[in-house]
Structure 1
């Protein structure tokens, strides 16, 4: 679930930096659009960039906040100030089409940076999702990300053959619960490119997100072009990803690493789950840890400078828990990996000594004595850390699913 945090305002908005707005608008191949839509426009960074590129375009901005202020367009000698119409209304209103007069005055291009929240469900959301073909592809329709709702609303309002450039949070790009959504999207519309943005692309946050450019054409493409934008605003060469693989995940990092590994001989590589390895998640939540009177190892106790080391952790021992089978405990020979966190791929250690409970933010890997050293060394290696990072997901703090960790490839001698 995406929730509002300290990096966003009360409506869950992360404001787009001007250079990202200009970059997004530059990804369109349309030359002379007539009518442009910006839902949840905020201060108008995206629509302002669009107006700079297409001075004659008619801009429609929609935002629920009556206090938003737009730049003075009259200062732009190339701009016609009368070509901007703003509507103070909920962008997810079911009646927006008639208000914007979409039938008689088609919208041929749209830009959007949705709020990073999960809004309280309203019945009209069902019609919005159904209108774009997404209603039956969500595991929990009443717990849906705002980004998906804004995407669906844009597709409902746009004319056929129109182009949309939208910023979607990493959850919609990578999370398994949205796999069917990605499959429907890719097999229903022409997704022309996906560009993974660097952290720091929005003001006051390092949330992860991607730009998705698609056309409202009922004809899907066999391949999707997936890119990565670096922190210094350099665009990578594209990866050509087939639709089935893109449905699995749409982020550049994952596919770049997957293709690299595919280029290396995998004859002796074997997945963790095939090595009779037991992987368990800790059993104590952060709230429970605060209420117990015994030590518990949490991710804050795993230091990045200790990565790959076997550590003496007897200071966390608690003999009084030896008979409590409900609490997951680590023991000598176990490997510990952070399950969540912005730098989870840097928190990987081995237990040389000590038997103690761990928090539910930590995975405990238990494997045969003969392969422990190999497993720790390979997971904590630069290549292993890159694999962990590529297979994690999340907008702010990243998460590593157990199903992903079980597939970690180990190279045996």
Structure 2
């Protein structure tokens, strides 16, 4: 992250939720003369890392044991008289219990009116907003944001405001497993606290061998839709060389439904329900006999979503959801709310299943899913799956 800053000689650096000081320690290595302010609520936090020990110099480092999300932090850190021109941040991947002071933090950064559920906001967004209100004009921030803020449709308005209010220098998608003890998916965002017209955003990915990819230049409108490298790479490179017309799944499907029974409900139903654990990756693309799930459902459960012969099933959630796609050859049975049931006409169902289960189809699904830990595939994305009707003709 520190290598990505274009600033050459910053004076004062802020590290909110600093923990052991990994980020600010790396910054001190690059800029030895910088004044560092670290903030962490945990009084037991020390600086055990070799790269962070140099922060202990009392003349170049001040540490504050305080909640990084308190509203009066601007005063505590004396940001007015001693401006902060660079900041680094790796927020916790949590959703904190809502406090009224969060509204002022979000409003000062311009984000309050663009959130779907302000009282259920990710810590990453709160730390982003807090950094922006503490930094001086034209200051630069490097922050690690969870995949939900980068890709989720519910945060699309937030991304649009972010892109129109601040100058995004670059976005770097990190590989899954970048953080110890978690598979959380996240991206580094480098931005400046300045309003500057941008036509394109540079989006990268960091490979597993720690090499930075060549940038994709994503227009601002598309960046508001999603900011992850994998999505835009697939969109730019999945070009049909024959220019054949593709039909979206919603135009072919008679019905696309999400199962209606939660995991908790399944435990108390008393009858078999197909869940994502019953769909094996090794069966991808096959038409399967599910008659073992056939069951008599009580009359008061008639509204339960059921699959039947000819339907296509795809996992809605999971790290490998793009590998759990099968057809129902036999059986009529209820499905969990972690499964989509796709019902197509007899003359297109084989084509749809084959293309969804193909290598290109799985790549498309993976690129359009989102999520910090387990991935999710939104129905709004699924219905746009492109199908070539002249491939895999049914007989």
Under TM normalisation by the shorter chain, which class is it? Answer: over 0.9
Q: Given the superposition, is the C-alpha separation of residues 275 and 73 from structure 1 closer, same or farther in structure 2, using an over 3 Å criterion?
A: closer
The partner residue of 1:377 within 342, 354, 363 is: 354
Query: What aligned pairs does 1:280-299 form with structure 2 within 5 A after superposition?
Result: 280-299=257-276
Q: Output the TM-score relative to the length of structure 1.
A: 0.91
Gaps of 5+ in 1: 1-23
2:275 pairs with 1:305? no
SS in 2 for 1:207: coil
- Structure 2 residue 184 is the aligned partner of structure 1 residue 207: yes
**Residue equivalent to 1:150:** 127
Q: 1:75-96: CA deviations, max 9, x gaps? A: 9789955311100000011111
Match among 163, 177, 180 for residue 186 of structure 1: 163
Please identify runs of 4+ aligned residues in structure 1 that moved more than 6 A: 72-79
Q: Is the 8 A contact 2:47 2:53 kept in 1?
A: no
How far did residue 170 of structure 1 move? 0.4
Structure 1 pair 66–159 and aligned structure 2 pair: CA distance change class (3 A): same
Q: Is contact 1:163–1:214 with CA below 8 Å preserved after alignment?
A: yes
2:28 aligns with: 51
C-alpha distance after superposition, 1:114-171 (max 9, x if no partner): 1111111111111111111111111111111111110010000001111000000000
SS of structure 2 residue aligned to 1:101: coil
How far off is 1:245 after superposition?
0.5
Deviation of 1:231 (Å): 1.1
**Residue 244 of structure 1: SS of its match in structure 2?**
helix
Distance 1:369 1:323 in 2: 31
| Deviation for aligned residue 1:325 | 2.8
CA RMSD of aligned residues (A): 1.7
Structure 2 counterparts to residues 244-259 of structure 1, below 5 A: 244-259=221-236
Distance, in Å, in 1 between the alignment partners of 2:363 and 2:51 is: 49
Aligned residues: 390
Measured at CA, do residues 108 and 323 of structure 1 come closer, stay the same or move farther in structure 2, by a change above 3 Å?
closer
- What is the aligned counterpart of 1:39 among 9, 16, 21? 16
Q: Secondary structure at the match of 2:118?
A: coil
Q: Secondary structure, in 3 states, of the residue corresponding to 1:199?
A: coil
SS of 1:379 mapped into structure 2? helix
Distance 1:348 1:74, change over 3 A: closer
Q: Does the 8 Å contact 1:74/1:81 carry over to 2?
A: no
Q: Say which of 54, 63, 67 aligns to 1:86.
A: 63
* Deviations, residues 318-344 of structure 1 (Å, cap 9, x unaligned): 034588431111111110000001110
Match of 1:20 in 2: none
Alignment-derived partner of residue 393 in structure 2: none
Once residues 151 and 201 of structure 1 are traced to their aligned partners in structure 2, the CA distance between those partners, rounded to angstroms, is: 20
1:337 aligns with 2:336: no
- Are 1:118 and 2:95 matched, yes or no? yes
TM-score w.r.t. the length of structure 2 is: 0.95
